[in-house]
């Protein structure tokens, strides 16, 4: 489940970046789109469509972000050593190494 939501999240992120870059920029900076309006739609219609697509993609991105956060919060995680009271769990006594049965040097 988490993998599917993550893949959808990444696709939405790439699509959102693409749609934002296609929009006409106000200051003439990085906007790629914004040439002549000779196409199926007018300049105003294209701007309205891109604004709506951006809003839908942003909403989908936020929903998948929240879903991933909720999914990751429900996974079982090991408890912290700081969460246990001081006297409940004593550290394990280290084992003493066994003596070699054969002499190593003469």
Number of H helices, E strands in the chain: 2, 0
Query: Cβ of 86: how many Cβ atoms within 10 Å?
Result: 5
Q: Which two tokens stand for residue 38?
A: 């000779």
Terminal C-alpha separation, the chain? 64
- Return the pLDDT at 95: 77
Question: What's the pTM?
Answer: 0.56
pLDDT tens sequence across 64-87: 999 999 988 877 666 677 776 766
């Amino acid at each position: 489940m988490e993998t599917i939501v993550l893949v959808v999240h990444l696709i939405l992120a790439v699509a959102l970046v693409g749609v934002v870059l296609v929009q006409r920029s106000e200051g003439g900076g990085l906007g790629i789109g914004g040439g002549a309006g000779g196409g199926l739609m007018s300049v105003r219609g294209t701007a309205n469509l891109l604004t709506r697509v951006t809003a839908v993609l942003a909403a989908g991105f936020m929903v998948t972000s929240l879903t991933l956060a909720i999914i990751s919060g429900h996974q079982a995680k090991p408890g912290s050593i700081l969460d246990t009271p001081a006297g409940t769990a004593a550290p394990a006594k280290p084992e003493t190494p066994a003596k070699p049965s054969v002499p190593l040097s003469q």
